[in-house]
Amino acid sequence: MTELTKPGRDEIALSAPAAGDLCHSLEHLRAGRAAQVRVTFGELGTLFADDLWPECWHHSYPMCGPCWQATRQAAGRRRPALVVRGTAGPWAHSRNGHRP
C-alpha cells in the first residue's frame, strides 16, 4: 500500500488499496469485489454551510473503479474547485482502463 497523503480543503487523495481490500459499498463488499483505489477525503466545503459528506472527512475508503468514478462525478458537481491528488497511479484509471 502506498503512503496515504492527508488531503486539504476541497481535495481528495488517491492511493493504492491494501492487498485484499474489498470495495466499501455494501453490495460490492458482500459480492467480494476487490478495491482498485483507496480514497481519502479532505474537508469538502464548510461544515453546516456548503459541506459535502462531512462524515467522510479525514477518512479513507477502499473503492472499486465504478464506485470511485461515481464518487468523483458527484463530488465534482457539488465542489467545482475539487482537486484530486494521486491520479498518476494505476488506481486512477476508470473501469474500462482509460483515464477519465
**Is residue 28 in a domain?**
yes
**Is residue 6 in a domain?**
no
**Is residue 37 in a domain?**
yes
Cα-flanking dihedrals φ and ψ of residue 47, to 5°?
Answer: -55, 130
pTM: 0.83
Q: Which three cell numbers stand for residue 8?
A: 486539504
Number of separate domains in the chain? 1
**Is residue 96 in a domain?**
no
**Is residue 83 in a domain?**
yes
What residues pair up with 34 in beta bridges, in sequence order? Answer: 22
What H or E segment, with its residue span, contains residue 23?
none
Domain that holds residue 64: 11-91
**Is residue 2 in a domain?**
no
Q: What is the pLDDT of residues 70-81, one digit of tens each?
A: 999 999 999 999
**Is residue 1 in a domain?**
no
Q: What is the pLDDT of residues 16-52, one digit of tens each?
A: 999 999 999 999 999 999 999 999 999 999 988 899 9
